[in-house]
Structure 1
Amino acid sequence: MRVTQGMLTGNMLRNLSASYARLGKYQDQLATGKKINRPSDDPVIAMKGMVYRTNLTEVEQYKRNFSEAYNWIENSDAALDKATQTLQRIRELVVQASNDTYESSQRAAIAQEVQQLTDHLVSIANTKVGDKYIFNGTDTLTKPVDLTQASPVTSNNTSEVKIELSKGIYIPVNVNPTKVFNYDNTAKGKGLFSDLEFLNNDLNDATKSGKDISQYLGYIDQHINNLLNARAELGARLNRIELMEERIDQQEVIANRILSDNEDADIERVITDLKTQESVHRAALGVGARIIQPTLLDFLR
């Protein structure tokens, strides 16, 4: 086959164009720190990168969900702690009022403090975090306790507020309000606020004796136990959430490492390849200068 000057020139130009393309690729990798800058550079790396980024995005969302879970549980636990302290103070007052040496005026004074403490318990039951009531199940926009009405109202919403903290794992973060802040005046010992109402009425009743008042000690102890049980359950959930958070933190580290291994360029290798390609390109230019057909000026020299 006859090799012409045009063929040599054409091959030289194609090779120079390919050399420029390789130089551009290495320069892009060095400037961006990425192996590819468009999916067409390497479709396999691009597809894997989409999967790894989706995984990393999910992990980052779970980390944000942990903040919301901690917000609910810690505020609930703090509110239950204050409610427990309030009930313990009411119990102390009941012990005092159970003494038959107390006159009706003294018990009436105790009744006033019990009423104030009851109002404080109502405010605790109506605790809000942001614009959400945390003791009303999933109905977070409705006040759970309202004793000002003719028929006092307390929440009976037992639905759990669940937050996804891992793939397919939903953890409840609220407290069942029917177990801690309830009103049931069908009998003593049934509801927290109804028992306090019965107690307040008996304290204001001059015909009641210390024995009548002392019966409330057992009811109050039961309500305190209910609060402690709710706090124990919250504590167990908190421990699990902390363990899950450690796992998610590890998953985030692993996801970032895998994504980096897939997409990030090896800078040392890129610099070496770039310098090698520059040398090859200069050699190609030198050889090409000899291949190009001589002009009339070359013959005149």
Structure 2
Amino acid sequence: MRINKNLASINIYREYSKNLIKQGSSLERVSSGIKINNSKEDPNAMAQSERFRMQIRGLQMAGNNAQDGVSMLQTAEGSLDGITSMLQRVRELVVQAGGTTTDLDKEVIQKEITQMLSGVDDMANNNEFNGVKLLNVGDATGATGVATGAIGMVTGVISGEKIVIPTYNLTASGLKLRDGTTDKVDVVNVDTAVCLGLVDTALDAIMGARSKFGALENRFQSSSDSTTEISDKIQSAESGIRDTDLATELMEYSKYNLLVEAGTAMMVQSNQLPQNALKILENVRSR
């Protein structure tokens, strides 16, 4: 029996301190819902979890890009539908001008054609999505309906995973229906057959652009669905590594809670040992 150093109490306190730390860690896992709160608990699992999280966030942003691509193409489709309607009206007017019409009638028809072509310009020039334009990019030097450029949108987390959207010049000038401010579709001064050929070529160009955008819209939607599904699978895997199993952790917390309480009780008992030694000394002195 020693008075200077209470080894029994020291040993009990050491184990008590260990259990108290474990109890605190268990409580942190329960309260946060996260099994690995810092890298020292499981360095390998922490690294794997962070890689998963990096991939998940990348996939989520790629999914947003794909949805933006769908929205942008839908915006362009709205303008292309309007341009198609205007060119269909221009074609009707050209056919009408080729009938039993006077020169005065043709002049009136031409005024409406000019307004329709200006409407085509307005549709192409004013169509944009978040500042990005698809229908009035480039110049009118290329063949009618040929893409003048492209916009690449990232749709995955691996380098090179992107969808390329072509851009067009579908203004009246780009469609070869106008040369500067002069209408090439001029039923007053140009043969009706020539005018019809110009309008039909322009309509073919519009249909080609609409078909391309429609196919890309389906591709973007498919990419978005696939990205979301992959992201969900990876989140499930990351959850298995990082998230707390509350049932198991609550049992661990209860175990360490009992050990801490037992340690506290035992320290009270062990701290009485020096007092017992003093009582023995008092008995010796009284004799």
- TM bin (shorter chain): 0.7 to 0.9
- SS where residue 64 of structure 1 aligns? helix
- How much does 1:156 deviate? 9.4
Q: Which amino acid aligns with 1:172?
A: V
Q: In structure 2, do the counterparts of structure 1 residues 66 and 241 end up closer, same or farther at CA, with 3 Å as the change threshold?
A: same
Residue 259 of structure 1 aligns with which residue?
A: 238
Q: TM-score, normalised by structure 1?
A: 0.80
2: distance between equivalents of 1:61 and 1:130? 17
Contact 1:39 1:46 in 2 (8 A): yes
Q: Which amino acid aligns with 1:273?
A: E
Contact 2:65 2:154 in 1 (8 A): yes
- How big is the alpha-carbon RMSD for the aligned residues of Structure 1 and Structure 2? 3.0
1:141-220 aligned at under 5 Å gives the runs: 158-166=148-156, 167=158, 168-177=160-169, 180-181=170-171, 183=173, 191-194=176-179, 197-200=183-186, 202-203=187-188, 205=189, 212-220=191-199
2: distance between equivalents of 1:298 and 1:48? 59
- How much does 1:191 deviate? 1.7
Contact 2:145 2:208 in 1 (8 A): no
- How much does 1:219 deviate? 2.5
1: distance between equivalents of 2:25 and 2:136? 60
Where structure 2 has 5 or more consecutive residues not aligned to the other structure, the ranges are: 283-287
Residue 276 of structure 1 aligns with which residue?
A: 255
2: distance between equivalents of 1:117 and 1:298? 112
Q: Which amino acid aligns with 2:212?
A: E
Q: TM-score, normalised by structure 2?
A: 0.84
2: distance between equivalents of 1:28 and 1:131? 47
The structure whose RCO (Cα within 8 Å, separation 6+) is larger is: 2
Are 1:111 and 2:101 counterparts? no
Contact 1:72 1:174 in 2 (8 A): no
Q: Which amino acid aligns with 1:256?
A: Q
Where structure 1 has 5 or more consecutive residues not aligned to the other structure, the ranges are: 146-153, 185-189
Structure 1 stretch 257-266 or stretch 109-118: which is displaced more? 257-266
Q: Which amino acid aligns with 1:284?
A: G
- SS where residue 163 of structure 1 aligns? strand
TM superposition outliers: structure 1 runs of 4+ over 6 Å: 154-157
Residue 295 of structure 1 aligns with which residue?
A: 275
Contact 2:83 2:123 in 1 (8 A): yes
Residue 20 of structure 2 aligns with which residue?
A: 20
- How much does 1:273 deviate? 1.1
Contact 1:135 1:174 in 2 (8 A): no
Q: How many residues get paired?
A: 271
